Structure 1
């Protein structure tokens, strides 16, 4: 960690040093937004769920334009717009008493989610390169989890449905956390625009999304990302809690503890994993990650075979711990490969494609999980997840044949030949 910090530029240190504090605000509200809409504001549960879906829907719709705007105007400008929308959305949501006001607020939050993801990754890539970039993405992921985890604990201790003002305070706290990155971008990082002009010696037309997607490496990486999100984060939000309660028959306390275990494993192991995967082919790391996730889903299946007892509890907690180990391999490799595939002037669009694949998987995952669990097809559900792990391994092998060695972590990016 000391050598990593020493190798970072001043801009990289500014970006990384405040990540956990920024995401603490998100952790304050993430687990409690649905509860707030339904139990505090009195909206029907179905309407509350539909309102929550606006975040993902709007985020997906604006991801493409957000990537193009990042390439045209720079990551800093897009981030400023996204963060401003997030702050306004949380302030509005804190006082929203009607579905229309809540919808507008959630649209603003979704807008930030969609445009900030590719812009932030592009900004990171603009100030960090080489193997340091992979380490940066991994450490950033650990700090994000730390901030959200601590925020969730604080929010859980503070929020009380019998005291609506406590929810107002946590949403205002989330808005206030946005002032930190806003200040960073306006003061110490005001010179880091994250925009690169297209080289004048390139005769080919400017890269469009269609042109980028014609690259086999991009297509396979996007497909792998979609499947990883479908069987991964898409299940953490709905599939895992549903399976844990309906099939494994464990308490809500166990489910909450499982998420705490997930966060703890990521924070504790991310640094060690980064040192072990440094210099190794990223596609091979993805294959190991797929195998680790297959073991995790096997533990879920074990929990379902002995519901309501100690075996079920161990299975659920074990799943989240082992799954977290796989996350520490996935999160450094996919963003680093995405940015190493891109040229400086197309980085926003490459990151937007990756973000869109992530969001599609995260949206489709809960839908499929809900349908299978509703039909009491728990065995098929687990089998589908394990099959998804096998598909990731196969796609990683195919991807390896198409991705340049430089983007696969085999050689330094500085040595990559220009095309």
Structure 2
């Protein structure tokens, strides 16, 4: 397969349906994601500490729901669980649009958290059931690029549209976010209504069915630990550690921070498919090791901006950090979900993806806490040092994972029998 056309032709019809609407679906999320805490604090007048606590409900509820959600996916199928999750998302966004009391906002954010808890394992299980083999890794990468495109464009539109002096503008973006969820609902009730992810377990299935059995596998332990640390040092810092360091230590403008996020999205969208061609046929653990080095370099680059605060060099360094970091993302996102799904079997795929989701969300929760403690106490150098050490630790964990993972789950093709 060569290029996007070859990839698209190789996809089954269900895979095309799933992929063709990703950017549109996530446009609504992009409209609200950067502005929810601004809405709660500046528009609805909630205390900033209360607003931050309310925002934390999404991640906490998502983490709590992930485990039971994975079990339900394996028992009743991803399609049914996703429909319930999307219904919760629609209700949550609608409640937020008109939330003038903290209790109403809390209920809305809890419902959004329910969707977050089941959507990651649900959609990954759905993808894995219709896209197999080498194509699966490519799919996860392209899906990630389109997801970032939708969120990025949504964020730009939202930035131009919303106005804290006009609460109705925030009501509109939350209702648009709710309406965007109707697109995947329509797919699940229409073209994808026959897709089945659940299956009956077999007595000789070596992968095991329960969470206890899954977590006893050394490969699962190592890839989950790697995922947790990657999220701690990566996405856990994107909404906390990075902007706080950029503002307090590098002393750049908010406009520079916003432009850096735009560069992040642009790099992912432009380079993801090229990266997929580069990593094709390579061991996924080796790709993770390269990603660890790239991320370590990006954090060192950001740390250097603290040596020249409030200068053009600092602004360039902050923007460059996000570009280099984004390149690392294009290496990570195709590989980790593919590893989990290649380790899984059809009857426990939901639980494997739930383990992945839990590790992801755990790191995303712990990251901002660590950043707040270190940067809040003026320990910017220690913060950067911790990020670099964690990145190098990811490389070590990738090597440990390589010794424990089946070759096929590591992206190594099965050897073909010799011709007679």
The normalised TM-score by structure 2 is: 0.97
**Pair 1:255 & 2:264 matched:** no
Q: Distance in 2 between matches of 1:229 and 1:413?
A: 34
Q: Distance in 2 between matches of 1:366 and 1:206?
A: 34
Q: Which runs of 5+ in 2 are unaligned?
A: none
**Pair 1:187 & 2:190 matched:** yes
**Pair 1:167 & 2:166 matched:** no
Within the candidate set 26, 31, 34, 1:31 is matched to 34
1:412 positional shift? 5.0
**Pair 1:59 & 2:95 matched:** no
User: Contact 2:294–2:328 at 8 Å: present in 1 too?
Assistant: yes
**Matches of residues 201-280 of structure 1 in structure 2 within 5 Å?**
201-202=203-204, 207-280=209-282
1:193 positional shift? 2.8
1:310 alignment partner in structure 2: 312
Q: Distance in 2 between matches of 1:331 and 1:341?
A: 16
1:145 alignment partner in structure 2: 148
Measured at CA, do residues 285 and 210 of structure 1 come closer, stay the same or move farther in structure 2, by a change above 3 Å? same
In structure 1, the residue corresponding to 2:281 is in which secondary structure?
coil
Measured at CA, do residues 414 and 191 of structure 1 come closer, stay the same or move farther in structure 2, by a change above 3 Å? farther
Q: Distance in 2 between matches of 1:372 and 1:102?
A: 30
User: Contact 2:78–2:197 at 8 Å: present in 1 too?
Assistant: yes
Q: After superposition, what is the alpha-carbon deviation per residue over 1:35-66, rounded to whole angstroms, capped at 9, x for unaligned?
A: 10111111111111111000000000000001
Q: Distance in 1 between matches of 2:97 and 2:198?
A: 35
Q: Distance in 2 between matches of 1:301 and 1:315?
A: 9
2:19 alignment partner in structure 1: 16
2:86 alignment partner in structure 1: 83
1:45 alignment partner in structure 2: 48
1:136 alignment partner in structure 2: 139
Count of residues paired in the alignment = 414
Within the candidate set 395, 405, 408, 2:407 is matched to 405
1:206 positional shift? 5.7
Q: Distance in 2 between matches of 1:166 and 1:269?
A: 34
User: Contact 1:406–1:413 at 8 Å: present in 2 too?
Assistant: no
Q: Which runs of 5+ in 1 are unaligned?
A: none
1:202 positional shift? 2.9
User: Contact 1:302–1:311 at 8 Å: present in 2 too?
Assistant: no
Q: Distance in 2 between matches of 1:302 and 1:202?
A: 55
Q: Distance in 2 between matches of 1:224 and 1:321?
A: 22
User: Contact 1:197–1:345 at 8 Å: present in 2 too?
Assistant: yes
**Pair 1:126 & 2:123 matched:** no
Q: Distance in 2 between matches of 1:394 and 1:74?
A: 36
The normalised TM-score by structure 1 is: 0.97
Single out whichever of 18-27 and 403-412 deviates more from structure 2. Answer: 403-412
1:310 positional shift? 1.2
